[in-house]
Every structure is written in C-alpha cells, then in structure tokens.
Amino acid sequence: MRGARMTRALRRTFDRTACVFRPLSDGTERAVYVDIPCVLSRSALTSAPSVRGAGEALCESRYALSLFTPPEVWLRLGDRVTVSDKSGRVYHARASDSVRYPSHCVTVVEVTEVSVPASQESAEGGTADQEG
C-alpha cells in the first residue's frame, strides 16, 4: 500500500477523538488540536502495570500507549492529551514527540488516568477512576 491508500486504510481504524493542549512558558496552556480522529494501541514495546500479589493495589498507575493520528497532526514532548471513545471513557495523558510518516503519526503517550462514565462504573465493579 502506498501513500493515499495507506492513509485511507489507517483512518478507518480511528475510533476515538483527541484534544491536545500545549504548555506555554507562562504556565498556561493552549488547545492546538480539538476532536482529531485517532486510535490508541498497546504495542509489544509498551507494558501494562503489574500487581505484586493477589488483592494488592497496582504498584503504578501510569502506562504507555501508542497514539496514531493523521500525518498532519503531530505532538510535542509534554503536550497534554485527552482521548475519548464512543462509550464516554476518557484517557488523560502526556505526550512524547511524534514520529511522522507519510500516512500517519505515532506518539507514545503516558496515560495517568482513565475517566469512566458513571453508567460504566457499576458495571465494572466500583468507582474506578484509574485504569491500568
């Protein structure tokens, strides 16, 4: 697959939207992208948090995912990212620098929190504000 065909094929996998906020030198931030199509992926190069023993809390609450966006959308180290899916789940993360390809961009994001809609909390067995 080449160029435009690859881009179209990848865009069909974009099942989420992201908003990206860039930190400014005065301590504030500005929105640089709003509701951009994207997809999150856990690759072999990222790892999930581990539990030390049965019944123990997660020893870490941060984990890395790969964020795929259109090629014209690239992020900078430290950008704040929120990724939403159709169920209302929102992943809150910080970005690395993007790697750009002709068909897409890939950015590793460190997820620090996952917000779950109230309707999903009871189905998931509690009030889970974080996912790991």
Q: What is the pLDDT of residue 123?
A: 56
Per residue in 55-65, pLDDT tens? 665 555 567 89
Whether residue 132 lies inside any domain: the answer is: no
Residue 88 is assigned to a structural domain of this protein: yes
Predicted confidence pLDDT, tens digits, the chain (132 residues)? 566 787 788 788 899 999 999 999 999 999 999 999 999 998 655 555 566 666 665 555 567 899 999 999 999 999 999 999 999 999 999 999 999 998 899 999 999 989 888 776 655 555 444 444
Domain-located, residue 8: no
131 Cβ neighbours under 8 A, 6+ residues apart: 111, 114, 116
Is 113 within a domain? Answer: yes
Is residue 83 assigned to a domain? Answer: yes
The count of domains in the chain is: 1
Residue 11 covered by a domain: no
- The CA angle 90-91-96, to the nearest 5 degrees, is 145
Q: How many CA atoms lie within 13 A of 98 on its CB side?
A: 19
- Residue range(s) defining the domain that contains residue 34: 17-46+59-121
**How many of the other CB atoms lie within 10 Å of CB of 122?**
9
Residue 5 lies in a domain: no
91 part of a folded domain: yes
Say which residues have a Cβ less than 8 Å from residue 63's Cβ, sequence separation at least 6: 46, 47, 48, 49, 110, 111, 132
